[in-house]
Amino acid sequence: MSDNMAQHETDMAQHPTDMAQHETEHVPTHARVLVVGGGNGGISLAARLNRQGVDDVVIVEPRVEHQYRPLLSYVGAGLASIEAARRPQREAMPSGSTWVRDAVERIDPHASTVALRSGATIGYDQLVLAAGSRPDWAAIDGSAEVMLAENASTNYLFDLAPKTWRLIDGMRAGTALFTMPDATCPCAGAAQKVLYMACDLWRSRGVLDDIRVVLTVPTDTVFGVPGVDEELMRKVAEYGIELRTNTTVRALDRETNTATLEADGRTEDLPYDLLHLTPPHAAPAWVKQSGLSSEQAAGFGRRRPRHAATPPLPERLGDRRHRGHAGVELRRGAAQGDARRGEEPAGGARREGTAAAVPRLHRQPVHRQPAHHGVRRVRSGRDADAEF
């Protein structure tokens, strides 16, 4: 199983001379805003900053291929091609930002520097962590091995989305198991999108009645969001989906094609003929090691705590300031999400969060920050634990 970083290495090795106009071979020693990760979150924030006149924005991104992951649900359902979901990274990069094609290996938030895989170091005034998350294969026994099996797939790995479609397309009878994790994952809703599209296809082909479709969710209800739940339950009933609430996949066995499910403290082995797994995700190891994360945040950046009453959604999504380091912003993929959908780490949600973060980054002077929430002024990027 190749992980994201192995993919980065492949990308970098395959296209060593593919330089974008704004990509630089000369790594700057300092950036006013340093964005780690050129995915949807990083590039949209950088582009907004550029539009507002912040011109010293550096994006560190190792991939030469930009992957538009929301399309993977449709690739898995046979409604889009995988080619449509990729394009050269240089085309996605905002022209007003500088792209350093490298990977961050360490962050020193006290010195306000990041160390790159190439050995270079870049200092920053403001750091935006937008490096996404990655499947946590260790969280479910046997999950990585199962992904190599003929009858299992996940849209959460770019290269496997076409395999999902092959499995759905070939299914005529048996048990199809779709899962949602009890931990964070990008766009938890994507775990169910492919399910409903598959059922629709199977029904149109007249095979749905021969397929036992099982959906496991960790929540009390199908999605954990009133309003959405009612609508989805209509489809669950219509397609005859066997909904298992408060259920978590604990183990997968490639030899027996069996999932071990846990619900209310009891376990059950469920054999399947088709598995679409939504793996729990985790923060990159170097974020965990940076001192910017905590156990409570599952290794992701620690955000500032909420205040008094829960603010309305756009405001909630907007506050991505790091809890301890005032010069650090967390984009959604890098910020913790909650599988119970109170906080969805999805691209749509990111749009509002990005819009809210830009003015903060834009107006912060290089070496001083305004006090937040009546707290003392802190030096940008310096330890600001006294903020609370």
Ligand X SMILES: Cc1cc2nc3c(=O)[nH]c(=O)nc-3n(C[C@H](O)[C@H](O)[C@H](O)COP(=O)(O)OP(=O)(O)OC[C@H]3O[C@@H](n4cnc5c(N)ncnc54)[C@H](O)[C@@H]3O)c2cc1C
Binding-site ranges for ligand X (CB under 6 A): 8, 36-42, 60-63, 69-70, 72-73, 103-104, 130-132, 155-156, 186-187, 190, 284, 331-333, 345-348
Q: Which is nearer to ligand X, 174 or 291 (CB)?
A: 291
**Closest residue by Cα to residue 89 from 161, 6, 27, 21:** 21
Q: Which is nearer to ligand X, 115 or 263 (CB)?
A: 115
CB of 180 to ligand X, least distance (A): 12
CB of 141 to ligand X, least distance (A): 22
Kindly report each contact of residues 76-81 with a partner whose C-beta sits within 8 Å and lies 24 or more positions away, as own/partner.
76/153, 76/155, 76/161, 76/162, 76/164, 76/165, 76/168, 76/194, 76/197, 76/276, 77/164, 77/165, 77/168, 77/193, 77/194, 77/197, 77/198, 77/201, 78/165, 78/168, 78/169, 78/201, 79/197
CB of 151 to ligand X, least distance (A): 19
The pair of three-digit structure tokens given for residue 251, joined into one six-digit string: 């183990």
Strand partners, 123: 30, 113
CB of 214 to ligand X, least distance (A): 20
CB of 80 to ligand X, least distance (A): 11
Q: How far is CA 205 from CA 169, 188, 234, 237, 273, in A?
A: 10, 28, 21, 18, 18
Q: Which is nearer to ligand X, 12 or 263 (CB)?
A: 12
**Closest residue by Cα to residue 318 from 371, 369, 370, 354:** 354
**Closest residue by Cα to residue 27 from 73, 57, 58:** 58
Residue number, nearest CB to ligand X: 39
CB of 6 to ligand X, least distance (A): 12
**Closest residue by Cα to residue 329 from 294, 305, 300, 361:** 361
Q: Who contacts 276 (Cβ-Cβ below 8 Å, separation ≥6)?
A: 76, 152, 153, 154, 155, 164, 167, 176, 177, 178, 179, 191, 194, 195, 198
CB of 164 to ligand X, least distance (A): 9
State whether residue 160 is helix, strand or coil.
helix
Q: Which is nearer to ligand X, 36 or 384 (CB)?
A: 36
Q: Cα separation of 101 and 8, whole Å?
A: 10
Q: Which is nearer to ligand X, 62 or 181 (CB)?
A: 62
Q: Which is nearer to ligand X, 329 or 387 (CB)?
A: 329
Q: Which is nearer to ligand X, 333 or 387 (CB)?
A: 333
Q: Which is nearer to ligand X, 190 or 217 (CB)?
A: 190
Strand partners, 252: 259
Q: Which is nearer to ligand X, 343 or 387 (CB)?
A: 343
CB of 271 to ligand X, least distance (A): 25
CB of 85 to ligand X, least distance (A): 10
Identity of the amino acid at 344: E
